Amino acid sequence: MMSAPGNHDQRTTDAAVIELLRVDSALEIGDLAEALGVTATAIRQRLDRLMRSGLVERKTVARPRGRPAHAYSLTAEGRRCGGDNFRDLAMVLWREVRSVREPAVRQGLLSRIGSAMADIYRPEVSGENAAERLRSLADVMRRRNVSCDVQDAPGDLAVLTSYSCPYPDLAEQDRSICAAERLMLQDLVGSSVALSECRLDGSSCCRFTAGSGAACGDGAAAGEPTAGT
């Protein structure tokens, strides 16, 4: 999914403000404008945007003389938004899961990972049936920048189409992550879920079919838990 024009530049300039505030915990508009070489008006616009996002907060600073000034600093959420080393950590942890030699143990881990992933999304997912819960989950995924949609299929089936993989690096290393995602979806929608198409097989997207008539296929071949594990 393409970003709207200007979104990349906006994120870049916002990141520059956040980085300055990370180094100096409290800065005024003049300090930021001078450091970035832009006007005070431009800085105000960026700060307003960041405050609406909950990443920056403003405090009044008393001065010995003259009017009080405003100093800007990162909120707790703003401090958490830096860095993306969690991707490296995820890769290491996933390699450790793959290195487990005992199939039953490895499959059990995969099942627990799927359930743990489902627990993250569960408070935000609602609906009276599998299709409604799948649509609710798609809304959650889109808020997390995963491009997807849901369509009805014959019978009681619904199809979630994901146009971008939430775990591209992991999936290229080991498609068992696809199995974990399928198990997560199955847990959340409360019915059988089948991975009917996958980008790793050459498809342009990944499609998950949910409903009582969805056939899960050969779970063991995909590294999923089998019956009795």
* Last residue in a domain, options 80, 109, 136: 80
User: Which alpha helices (DSSP H) does the chain contain, by range?
Assistant: 7-23, 29-36, 40-52, 76-80, 86-98, 103-121, 130-143, 168-173, 176-189
pLDDT of residue 228: 35
Which two structure tokens, joined as six digits, stand for 68?
């009080």
Residue 146 identity (one-letter amino acid):
V
| Position 217 in a domain | yes
- 43 and 103 share one domain: no
For residue 214, how many other CB atoms are within 10 A of its CB?
24
Contact at 8 Å (CB) between 94 and 174? yes
| Position 184 in a domain | yes
* Last residue in a domain, options 80, 96, 116: 80
Model confidence at 172, in pLDDT bands (50, 70, 90)? confident
| Position 227 in a domain | no
- 130 and 204 share one domain: yes
| Position 75 in a domain | yes
148-152/158-162 β-pairing: antiparallel
Q: What is the pTM assigned to this prediction?
A: 0.56
| Position 15 in a domain | yes
- Give 115-124 pLDDT, tens digit per residue: 998 999 999 9
- 25 and 130 share one domain: no
* Last residue in a domain, options 80, 115, 132: 80
- 29 and 138 share one domain: no
* Number of compact structural domains in the chain: 2
Integer CA distances (angstroms), 14 to 20, 51, 78, in order = 10, 11, 11
- 72 and 103 share one domain: no
Mean pLDDT of 123-149: 91
- 99 and 174 share one domain: yes
| Position 171 in a domain | yes
What average pLDDT does the chain have?
81
pLDDT of residue 94: 82
pLDDT of residue 48: 93
Residue 110: domain span: 86-222
Model confidence at 73, in pLDDT bands (50, 70, 90)? very high
- Give 3-50 pLDDT, tens digit per residue: 333 444 445 578 889 889 988 878 999 999 999 999 999 999 999 999
